[in-house]
Structure 1
Amino acid sequence: MRFEFIADRPVLDFLPTVAERGHADVEQLTAPTDFAEWAVQAGIVERAPDVDEAGLRHVKALREAMFRLVQALIDGTEAATTDRELVNGAAAGPLPTLRLDVDGVHRNGDLNSVLTALARDCLELHASDDRLALRWCADEHCTRAFVDRSRGARRRWCGMRGCGDRAKAAAYRQRRRTTIL
């Protein structure tokens, strides 16, 4: 499976592994190997970590806690203590190791180190100026959060490919309908 990486932050690219939350709830991590592939495609590690069914359940629980933390951050509400504790616990682990060889830098780690990297990115998001520019995609079915770094802070979609293209095409079709009538 190919995953989409458009958010410039690992945690914001990880959260939409459940797409269309509240509508279709499309789960993209249906097998342990799905998360292992996601970690490699995200560039967190270069070799897929071992993930079993229990590990996948933990991955999903952490993802949902991080989603609720980001949701609370955007909505200006207080995050649940259990979500903070779960993410703080994951962030306390060891990060993937970096090693410089003749052929470049290599990133290696197990499941826990990948989750540590994601949890730390979630916490760093809360501490960075990016938290002030966090937005939800304007597409009614998309539940991606993104950092609006546009001039004027008027960005509406998580990305132009996909949500932005669909919105512009729909607006064009609507304009064509009204001019024809």
Structure 2
Amino acid sequence: MRFEFTADRPVLDFLPTLAERGHTDVEQLTAPKDFANWAVQAGIVDQPPPVDDAGLRHAKALREAMFRLVQALIDGADAAAADLELVNEAAAGPLPALRLEVDGMHRNGDLDAVLAVLARDCLELHASDDRLALRWCADEHCTRAFVDRSRGARRRWCGMRGCGDRAKAAAYRQRRRIPTA
């Protein structure tokens, strides 16, 4: 499976591995290998880390806690203590080991190292200026959060490929249906 990476932040790219929350709830991490492959495609590690069913459940639990933290940040609400505890605990873990070799940089780590990168990015998001530009995608079925770095801060879609294209096509079809007087 190929995953989408549009958010420029690992945590914001990880959260939509459960897509269309509250609508169709499309789970993209259905097997341990899915998370391992996501970690490689995200560039966090070079080789898929070993992940078992318990590890996948832990990764999903952390994903949901981070989603609620991002949701609270966007909505200006207080974060739940249990979510903070889970994310803080994961962030305290070891990071992937970096090694520069003749052929380039290599990143090696296990499941905990990948989760530490994601948890730390979630925490750093709360402390960075990006938190002020954090938005939800305007597509009614999309539940992606994104950082609006557009000029004038008027971006509405998580990405033009997908949500933005669908919105533009729908607006075009609507204009074509309405006869002009």
- TM-score above 0.5, yes or no: yes
The percent identity for this pair of structures is 85
In 1, Cα distance between equivalents of 2:180 and 2:153: 34
Q: One-letter code of the match for 2:145? A: A
- For structure 1, the 5+ residue unaligned runs are none
In 2, Cα distance between equivalents of 1:180 and 1:21: 38
String of CA shifts for 1:136-161, please: whole Å, max 9, x gaps.
Answer: 00000000000000000000000000
* TM-score, normalising length: structure 1: 0.99
String of CA shifts for 1:17-46, please: whole Å, max 9, x gaps.
Answer: 000000000000000000000000000000
TM superposition shift of 1:81: 0.1
Tell me which residue corresponds to 1:50. Answer: 50
What secondary structure is seen at the aligned counterpart in 1 of 2:135?
A: strand
Matched, 1:23 2:23: yes
In 2, Cα distance between equivalents of 1:180 and 1:26: 40
* TM-score, normalising length: structure 2: 0.99
What secondary structure is seen at the aligned counterpart in 1 of 2:99?
A: strand
Tell me which residue corresponds to 2:59. Answer: 59
Q: One-letter code of the match for 2:60? A: K
- For structure 2, the 5+ residue unaligned runs are none
In 2, Cα distance between equivalents of 1:50 and 1:28: 18
Q: One-letter code of the match for 2:68? A: R
Q: One-letter code of the match for 1:60? A: K
In 1, Cα distance between equivalents of 2:48 and 2:148: 31
String of CA shifts for 1:99-128, please: whole Å, max 9, x gaps.
Answer: 000111100000000000000000000000
TM superposition shift of 1:180: 6.5
In 1, Cα distance between equivalents of 2:23 and 2:98: 40
Tell me which residue corresponds to 1:133. Answer: 133
TM superposition shift of 1:179: 2.2
Aligned length: 181
Q: One-letter code of the match for 1:134? A: L
Which residues of 2 match residues 77-96 of structure 1 at below 5 A?
A: 77-96=77-96
In 2, Cα distance between equivalents of 1:27 and 1:79: 24
In 1, Cα distance between equivalents of 2:106 and 2:17: 25
TM superposition shift of 1:83: 0.1
Matched, 1:10 2:30: no
In 2, Cα distance between equivalents of 1:63 and 1:81: 15
Tell me which residue corresponds to 2:145. Answer: 145
Tell me which residue corresponds to 1:174. Answer: 174
In 2, Cα distance between equivalents of 1:180 and 1:41: 48
Coordinate RMSD, CA, aligned: 0.8
TM superposition shift of 1:76: 0.3
In 1, Cα distance between equivalents of 2:41 and 2:165: 24
In 1, Cα distance between equivalents of 2:180 and 2:165: 22
